[in-house]
Amino acid sequence: MNRHAQILTALASGAIFGIGLSLSGMLDPVRVRGFLHVAGDWDPSLAFVLGGAVAVVMSGIFVRRRLQNPAFGDAFHLPATMPIDTRLITGSAIFGIGWGLAGLCPGPALAALSLGLAPVALFVVAMLVGMTIHDRLIAGRTNTPALRRAP
């Protein structure tokens, strides 16, 4: 029962995320790179997207503080407070370089698969390869359970 509710919630949440990305214009790498091009004809759209999203999630966090458990789950799976370390900064910098190169990040790339464009499919495959390389080579070596390192 709860399992089915969880699956339906995840499906609906994913669909709303994808509709929001489509409406926001952030599926388009040109718009994303326009935001990153601060030295040129800057496109501030991404700031509106991020601002709108953060504002809504903040109200969700406010409600969450009054709940013991999520409606369909056993517990809130939120990452524990950890110090800012080299992995976080190095990883984020590597991600930022890739993001700037193509104007694609994981959410928009996955959503844009539905348009059937070959370069987007190539990006998603390369991204999955990159994730696997990290998890096989790096995460295994440092013995950090990659599964538990959500943001």
Partner 1 sequence: MTSYWPSLIGGMLIGLSAAMLLLLNGRVAGISGILGRLAQGAQVETNAAFAIGLISGPLLYRVGAGQWPPVTITASLPVIALAGLLVGFGTRMGSGCTSGHGVVGLARLSPRSVAAVVTFLLAGVATVTLMRLVAP
Q: At what angle do helices 45-64 and 29-36 cross, to 10 degrees?
A: 90
Task: Considering the complex, state which of residue 1 and residue 63 has its C-beta at the smaller distance from partner 1.
Answer: 63
State in angstroms the smallest separation of the CB of 80 from partner 1. Answer: 10
**DSSP letters for 70-88:** -SSSSS---PPP----HHH
Task: Considering the complex, state which of residue 1 and residue 67 has its C-beta at the smaller distance from partner 1.
Answer: 67
Q: How far is C-alpha 10 from the chain's CA centre?
A: 15
State in angstroms the smallest separation of the CB of 101 from partner 1. Answer: 4
Alpha carbon separation from 102 to 27, 36, 79, 90, 108 (Å, rounded)? 12, 11, 29, 19, 12
State in angstroms the smallest separation of the CB of 121 from partner 1. Answer: 10
State in angstroms the smallest separation of the CB of 145 from partner 1. Answer: 10
